[in-house]
Structure 1
């Protein structure tokens, strides 16, 4: 009898979780499609390859990811940009964006570096103005983003009246401004009038990047070395919002490509425009799949 009880207990503990047990459901993908790329879940409407993603014929925006091997590790990419996480419930994704730097080259006597250009036009994504900041680092730096004909950035300096302090980004060695609302693309620039050619021994480089606010703290060591750029390997974590199309829920419901297909799904209008899907109250899972929402 004792052996039988132990066997039954073992089977109960090893049995898969059923709907309604309070555990998160498995990631849902189209039949025969991978649910992960490396360490990242890939839930539908996203998919690895065109056959696994919400088809372009059904929406104005593509959801195809590429699963590529980088130094022997599989990672998902969206149009060449690494994706580190996707959330269905929050309508968010996280990616790694190029930082921009401008450094004095002692050999050539010139300022050299790189600029970043990001463009999500015609995709499901825009860059979150709530979760991200524009950060500028340097002791003689004026850097900015250009979006259409609008410039947004700030000036960062170091002097006796502007002494850098760790974890403080308010103009002394580091400045930051809010990211604009409803933005799909940007380009970065450094003003030639502000450079480190005269202070390169103590502060060789300047930087500008869009970065998730919670991922950034300023340290004064960022000014006299390349540790800031090196720490992130030139790629800043950025939070993005995503939608299915720019249609409102009322408009989308009247189309054959309406994406909220689970019986227990609801449509959600995004404040900036467009719609996403969510499981109804008391349900969880994937509202973009048939029977994808199950009871909590």
Structure 2
């Protein structure tokens, strides 16, 4: 398994996006995923913050491998409804992602109901965004949902989307799958075949805690076995706020676990 290891900026969730990149760089991390979490408390500054990241990448050479697109419920619902304003916002993020040199853009499934109609709604919207992404040199990867009552929380639903939407890949979220799956390690193997990226984080099997690996209930050695033939991007999507020293220790812990589990 020759994976590319990336750290998401949400491990310094309280920091501005550029400051989170800088801190990861100072901690010896070489590649990053730009997390939407670093923007959520600063919605009115979104455009300027994206521009700041693009400028920092060009100035300092930070290697942003992927970007997590906005996932707030309002934007995703408006995408499902075909609202142009929502598409304009997400496409602006895609263009900024390309300007940063990213290869992958991650998106959640759209919360359309009833569930039996949600597949068609997602196919239509994601097809448009996948085409926009491809034109910019990006791969759009759709992430399996946490919320069990929403479309996209099952492996089969994600597999169906990647089959029907040209150019669409999966983002396999291990933490979400750990909450929803009755056969975690088999499901990891099934979804890994169409995944461009894995979001790696741990939890208690019930809640979306975004803990460092080995601090929840996932058997990471079994998970690594299920990812044996995966050759994409492994992103540690661990969340940390508060004391920066604790977040620094999370980075150190992830490095130790990654070396032990994935070599």
* TM-score, scaled relative to structure 1: 0.23
Normalized per residue, which structure has more helix?
A: 2
Larger Rg: 1
Normalized per residue, which structure has more strand?
A: 1
